[in-house]
Structure 1
């Protein structure tokens, strides 16, 4: 069997669709189907069943999936190691960073690491935990740092390396926010609501309930952090945001009005069975401070 056949197999497994998998690996659906057929012939059984919901792995497909991920990930590390040994590069790390992680102290420590080790090439990929899990399994990332980790993922190790406080952000000239002593003082506020507080929703709702307030209704609903920050700096809107995103943005005032209750952990994510070389170990030590 060939390395690329396993890449094609995992693309279908992760996407659940021949169409999406073909786009991911840059093949036509016909070429991808032929590659899967050749792999099935070598293994002696079907890897997928077609259904109304797309491609579903058979028992054989499920049983080989983790081995396939190990092979792909190890091949990626082998290429990096070989390149270093041949002098093509002195070292390379690929790190996934969620928006909050990137804006936090961890992002600054990663930048400092790059300055301390100028012969190491660092590739930084944006995304959230779901993106990182798939990329880690494919061997495309060495580690990832994310605040939105909703639970355990098969084959992924999670280690908390930091935490991020959340509060209410608004324009520096917003008098109500300047004077607020508690969340109840913002009962008449206009709110921008995002979809990045999922893991804090219960404790945020509890804070508003204890103040005798319903959860704020959105005047604006958005998934764009950059839009939120610009809108806040130019209006009387308020938003619940992590401190790190507001700290260095001109025109934004950030207040902790939950007595420290709104806080989310930031996790380091890596493949459970991935080899941790010395470069990754050094990076992790410096990220932890």
Structure 2
């Protein structure tokens, strides 16, 4: 049994599709299928049930999946430790940061940690919590900081580190936003809406309903934070954005028109039973974790 076979098996479990898993792993479907077949032959049973909708783990696949995740994650940590011991690198941590976390004081703490440990290599990966859960399972990241939009995974620990306040952002010279005393004053606004703010839907909907308005409808829908910031700076559009993302942007104004009700918690995410060495412990302290 080879470690890469376990990694290939987990790639298909996470993707639910041989085609998608092969693309993510950088393999041909034929090569990935052969790897799975060898693992099945060694274990003595089928790992997946195949259907028109994709591939789902069999009973055997479900039974070994968590063990495989632990082996793959531990192997990643082992490689990092060996590299450091051999002098190939003084230490390395891979941190996942969502766009909100990256722009917040938590992102600044990661920078401060890097300044305190200049001989440590810090790899920062972008994404959202769904990406980070899969990456934690595969041992590709050590820890992540993100809001929580997906269902909680039994294999991932969550610890709340902060609460992010959201409001309405627009160009500094946007007259409609400048004069707005409440959300009702934005009835004629044109909106840029993101797809990654599901946690705020109920809170935003209640605020608009209280003002006798329907929820905002998108003139532009995007998942790109950079595009949103650029568009706000050069157009009359407005958007619902976190305060920490906008407070240092000189060309933008940010208004709390939700009455303080638009908030999302920011979590530290790490894998259960993962090894916490001295370097990881130092990072957790810097982030304000109680771990």
TM-score grouping bracket, smaller chain normalisation: over 0.9
The 1:16/1:151 distance shift into structure 2, 3 A limit, reads: closer
Stretch moving more, 170-179 or 91-100: 170-179
Are the equivalent residues in 2 in contact too, given 1:149–1:267 (CA < 8 A)?
no
Identify the residue that residue 35 of structure 1 maps to in structure 2: 35
Matches within 5 A, 1:21-100: 21-100=21-100
Stretch moving more, 215-224 or 55-64: 215-224
Deviations 1:14-37 (CA, angstroms, capped at 9, x unpaired) = 111222222222332222222212
Are the equivalent residues in 1 in contact too, given 2:161–2:267 (CA < 8 A)?
yes
Q: Distance between the aligned counterparts of 1:151 and 1:43, measured in 2?
A: 31
Question: How much does 1:80 deviate?
Answer: 0.7
Question: How much does 1:140 deviate?
Answer: 0.4
Deviations 1:183-220 (CA, angstroms, capped at 9, x unpaired) = 11222222222222210100111011111211122222
The RMSD of aligned alpha carbons is 1.4
Q: Distance between the aligned counterparts of 1:24 and 1:93, measured in 2?
A: 22
Question: How much does 1:92 deviate?
Answer: 0.5
**Do structure 1's residue 227 and structure 2's residue 243 form an aligned pair?**
no
Q: State the TM-score, normalized to the length of structure 1.
A: 0.96
Are the equivalent residues in 1 in contact too, given 2:76–2:139 (CA < 8 A)?
yes
Runs of at least 4 residues off by over 6 Å: none
Deviations 1:99-128 (CA, angstroms, capped at 9, x unpaired) = 111011111110111011001100001111
Unpaired runs of 5+ in structure 2? none
Question: How much does 1:155 deviate?
Answer: 0.5
Question: How much does 1:175 deviate?
Answer: 2.2
**Do structure 1's residue 211 and structure 2's residue 211 form an aligned pair?**
yes
Q: Distance between the aligned counterparts of 1:31 and 1:44, measured in 2?
A: 20
Are the equivalent residues in 1 in contact too, given 2:149–2:198 (CA < 8 A)?
no
Unpaired runs of 5+ in structure 1? none
Q: Distance between the aligned counterparts of 2:45 and 2:72, measured in 1?
A: 21
Identify the residue that residue 241 of structure 2 maps to in structure 1: 241
Matches within 5 A, 1:1-289: 1-288=1-288
Q: State the TM-score, normalized to the length of structure 2.
A: 0.95
Q: Distance between the aligned counterparts of 2:241 and 2:188, measured in 1?
A: 18
Equivalent residues, number: 289
Question: How much does 1:174 deviate?
Answer: 1.6
Are the equivalent residues in 1 in contact too, given 2:10–2:69 (CA < 8 A)?
yes
Q: Distance between the aligned counterparts of 2:145 and 2:57, measured in 1?
A: 29
Are the equivalent residues in 1 in contact too, given 2:47–2:57 (CA < 8 A)?
yes
Stretch moving more, 94-103 or 175-184: 175-184
Stretch moving more, 18-27 or 63-72: 18-27
Deviations 1:196-254 (CA, angstroms, capped at 9, x unpaired) = 22101001110111112111222222222212211111222211111122122231100
Q: Distance between the aligned counterparts of 1:267 and 1:172, measured in 2?
A: 31
Stretch moving more, 61-70 or 49-58: 49-58
